[in-house]
Amino acid sequence: MPHIYPWSQLPVGIRNHLIDRMRERSISVADLNGLRLWVESRPEVPDGPWFKDFGSFKLCGERPYPKTFLLPGQAAHGSEI
């Protein structure tokens, strides 16, 4: 299984999209710190679509790439990790 890519290894387009979604979803600094700690732990992610529910938001991705943030009530697809 692949490991999620750290911020520094993400393509610029994905990074910019994530920044836009963070702002739109009003994700707090405390929540982003929790996300940072999780990413730094180098979690394994499925080969296909996945999502991680952090309570106040969901991170959705595919393979090693995080792709977007969803609000708690928004439906995510893929494997929950």
Whether the CB-CB separation of 76 and 70 falls below 8 Å is answered with: yes
Query: What pLDDT is recorded for position 1?
Result: 84
Q: Which residue has the tokens 């679509």?
A: 49
Query: What pLDDT is recorded for position 10?
Result: 94
Question: Does an H or E element contain 52, and which?
Answer: strand 49-53
pTM of the model: 0.90
CA proximity to 50, closest of 7, 11, 19, 5 = 5
- pLDDT per residue as tens digits for the range 17-59: 999 999 999 999 999 999 999 999 999 999 999 999 999 999 9
